[in-house]
Structure 1
Amino acid sequence: MHVAPAGGTAVQDHVALAEIELCGELIIAASAARGDRLSPARIDEVLRVGEERATDPREDAPRRRGA
């Protein structure tokens, strides 16, 4: 196992960061939902399925609404 050295040399994986953010959005939506599960439509809404995605790889992270 390789651990990144301390001291500001961290490398950012933009795709991984975007996936982590989407998981967080799902967790927030699930905790606010009434009932046991999110509907497939609500999951699609939270994950912004069908929205146009950025073509610039530096913009892989999803944009927050109102930002």
Structure 2
Amino acid sequence: MGCGRKDDAVGHDYLDSRVHDRVALDEIALYAEVLSAVAVSERELTLDELDNALGLRTPVSR
């Protein structure tokens, strides 16, 4: 999982900046990434898995 983002807004650069809040949209995008990761997991996510879903670290090969 993960949105592949680091510090840019996700998929909404084309929106009129007068009618949206970039921080709020980024928070919603991050929340969606966590929800997606939780939805496909059959157990609680570890902190490492949450970090990965949020794009804070890359997945470790096992």
Aligned positions of 1:17-36 closer than 5 A: 17-35=25-43
3-state SS in 2 of match to 1:34: coil
Aligned-CA RMSD value: 1.8
Give TM-score scaled by structure 2 length: 0.58
- The residue number in structure 1 matching 2:50 is 43
Percent of aligned pairs with the same amino acid: 32
Which is greater in Rg? Answer: 1
Gaps of 5+ in 2: 1-17
Q: Per-residue displacement from partner, 1:11-67 (whole Å, max 9, x unpaired)?
A: 1101100100110110010010121x111000000111158xxxxxxxxxxxxxxxx
Give TM-score scaled by structure 1 length: 0.54
- AA in 2 matched with 1:15: V
Q: Give the length in aligned residue pairs.
A: 41
